[in-house]
Amino acid sequence: MADELNGKRIAILAADGVERVELEQPRQALQDAGATTELLSLHEGEIQARNNDLDAAGTFSVDALVKSASVNDYDGLLLPGGTVNPDQLRMDTDAVAFVRDFMGTGKPVASICHGPWTLIEAGVAKGRTLTSYPSIRTDLRNAGANVVDEEVARDGNLITSRSPDDLPAFSSAFVELLGQEGERA
């Protein structure tokens, strides 16, 4: 449905080094379903995107700073991957606090690839069933998560996926979860 998420406002938290397709494709799916998206980051201006972590892939305009954002203003949170992006986010106290506080609301959160690194740093991975890019699964296990190797893992309000190959299923699962939240409201 083209309007199933009308009125929903989704925060996308990303920094320089974000994997372009992991921001672009889910954002497009959200917008196609009628949601409004807002890119939050660590600095104003633009963030640098990458393809396969190595190749420059243009930029995305930042809509607001995470340090000024309120979880109450959003209905969902998207955490795209790439290795550099979540590595920067997990080192920023404002970004970590935003993720921790957002997870505490019970609102939908979706994270793909290396994005769960920020969930680990926020202390919200313990006891949750997650998937991720293979190289960070040990980090997730060490943080107390139950790690699975599935296209999409859903644990309550949390959706995770492994890599860009999973983007169609990941995006659909997030849109579906956000739509279900609207039905309960």
Percent over 70 (pLDDT), the chain: 97
Considering its fold, how many domains does the chain have in total?
A: 1
43 as an active site residue: the answer is no
Residues facing residue 129 across a β-bridge = 146
pTM for this predicted structure: 0.96
Residue 3 falls inside a structural domain: no
Active-site annotation holder among 20, 107, 114, 162: 114
Residue 118 falls inside a structural domain: yes
pLDDT in tens, 117-155: 999 999 999 999 999 999 999 999 999 999 999 999 999
| Measured CA distances, 96 to 5, 37, 67, 89, 119 (Å) | 26, 20, 10, 7, 8
Residue 33 structural domain: 9-179
Residue 2 falls inside a structural domain: no
Q: What is the pLDDT of residue 182?
A: 58
CATH for 150: 3.40.50.880
Q: What is the pLDDT of residue 181?
A: 76
Residue 170 falls inside a structural domain: yes
